[in-house]
A and B are shown apart, each in its own frame.
Chain A
Amino acid sequence: MIIDANAWLGHWPFRPLRHNDVPGLLGLMDRAGIDMAVVASVHGVLYRNAQRANEELAEQVAGHRDRLIPFATLNPNYPGWQRDLRLCREMGIRGLRLYPIYHGYDLTDAPALELINAATEMGWPVQLPQRIEDVRQRHWLDTERNLTAEEAGAVVAALPRTSFIFLNALGLPPGLFLGAGGSRSQPIVTDISRVSAVLRDDMRALIASVGVGALVFGTGMPFNYPEPALLKMRVLRASEEDKQRIYSDNLRAILGL
């Protein structure tokens, strides 16, 4: 079984996305042999009121919950997020995907910690994309900043009871995944969309230093072609058991599937 931790629905204002509605994404998943995917609405990145994107998302995935696992986007500085969080749970949403750079806050600001804690209390994991697109091709209205390893480390250290899933990430230090003094009660993982299985061989290095539990399968589709992630898994020098953990078991454990 393959579960993609890093999929999206909706439009991106700076270039056309294909396969970005439910039939399109399911078609891409079928082509790639991907069984299920965690999806968030791209619109949640830039809508002033992210909850409107969550409502769209819940409507879109209705009838496809066997394959699409919706994650909400919320802004802890926007009024009413506490109510929105509750409504998202009622809509069947299973986790959070946050964009501190786009929404203008630091992950260790008090409102952000409060939001993440509230999600944690509900048993939700929290996804943190390091970036949406490569900043070298940024539109002149888009950000040119990625989430740094320091910012990631700070929020992880502040919230040991939260399951964090980093997306589109590269350069996170192994120590970040372990937690200070083994104090973490919940896992920290990164998807494989930007790490490699050859040359730099980030994946084997991470497995060697942290363990296979630090990796989950993720493509970034429909922003990205799914085939590179599939190729990484094919060429990765790891046991079939470890590969299965990356393909789906690690994420299933986090999501309670």
Chain B
Amino acid sequence: MRIDAHAHVWPREGKLNSDLLERLVDACDRLEIAEAWCSCPVTAGMGDPETVRRYNDFVLEAMRRYPERIRGYCFVVAGYCRQALEEIDRCLNRGMLGIKLYHQYLINDPALFPVVEKAIEARIPILCHAGHGTDQETRRTQPKISDGVHFADLARRYPEAMLIMAHLGGGGDYEWSLQAITDTPNVYADTSGSVIDEGMVEYALRLLGAKRLLFACDETEEGGVGKVLGAEISETERQAIFWRNAAAIRARRVR
């Protein structure tokens, strides 16, 4: 059993990119991934409420097509506070299981506090794009990408929140971020991303413990599965990462 806690569907020419969805489902079939938790964030610019709603509709459409395979995160832009809270209600009522944030705001920006409080109330996780990029390109193009320090700051303010720091393997110096969140037990890390550094999963497990790690791919399917399979950890820990932790998070939701 494997649950991919960080996956995506995307638009193409104003519609859900069906070809990519089919490829994702095919990849899940071939790599024994039972569920892919998908979002469709606006990745360039702020994202107005109408666009955000349309993008979330793409996720809902994918969920309808593959109700057992595709689960959804509701993407919101916190600056549009009222619309963001309404959009979360709309998406949760249609079966989504969490909230997705991108890098429009740092995760500890006060603009996000109402969204975080909403997530606490609904007992759902917040998955946020993350990384400590040490190269100029990342700093130039993603000035508000959140790293472990930002997550830890928010986690201390809201210890009831379930925060998922995205893609250990996709966002720069993961050791920096892991060091920062070690003492904030309500921050999880997902293992996704194209970086497949040998020992990465073991180091994350050493700092966070197996219960705070979530298997994920973020479109690096073989790398995502392979790094957890290759990690020198116990089978109990591997299964916790592959699916048990995600299943426990999903089960917490208020119905």
Contact = CB atoms under 8 A, between A and B. Distances in A.
A119 to B, nearest CB: 29
A138 B135 contact: yes
Given A223-B198, A224-B196, A199 B134 contact: no
Interface stretch (A10-18, A78-86, A87-95, A241-249): A10-18
Interface string B220-234: 111101110111000
B199 A137 contact: no
Interface in A53-100: none
A136 B198 contact: no
User: How many B residues touch the partner, as a band?
Assistant: 35 or more
A198 B26 contact: yes
A230 B196 CA distance: 13
Interface residues of A, number: 35
A135 B135 CA distance: 6
B198 A137 contact: no
Contacts of B27: 198-199, 235
Contacts, number: 96
A198 B174 contact: no
Nearest to A32: B230
A226 B173 CA distance: 21
Interface in B211-227: 219-223, 225-227
A106 B227 CA distance: 34
Nearest to B27: A198
A29 B43 CA distance: 40
Contacts of A135: 135, 137
Contacts of A201: 23
A134 B195 contact: yes
B131 interface: yes
Interface string B137-161: 1100000000000000000000000
A197 interface: yes
A198 B20 CA distance: 10
Contacts of A226: 230
B220 A137 contact: no
B246 interface: no
Contacts of B137: 135-136, 144
Given A137-B174, A199-B221, A231-B225, A223 B134 contact: no
Contacts of B221: 196, 198-199
Contacts of B23: 198-199, 201
A225 B134 contact: no
A44 B6 CA distance: 38
B230 to A, nearest CB: 4
A205 to B, nearest CB: 12
Contact of A225 (B20, B138, B220, B227): B227
B171 A136 contact: yes
B229 A136 contact: no
A232 B222 contact: yes
Q: What are the 8 A-B residue pairs with the smallest beta carbon separation, nearest first? A: A228-B226, A225-B230, A227-B230, A227-B226, A198-B27, A231-B222, A144-B135, A235-B30
Interface of A: 15-19, 133-140, 144, 194, 196-201, 220-232, 235
Interface of B: 20, 23-24, 26-27, 30-31, 131, 133-138, 171-175, 194-199, 219-223, 225-227, 229-231
19 contacts: A17-B199, A136-B134, A136-B171, A137-B134, A137-B173, A137-B174, A194-B194, A196-B220, A198-B26, A198-B31, A199-B20, A199-B27, A223-B198, A224-B198, A225-B226, A226-B230, A227-B229, A228-B196, A235-B31
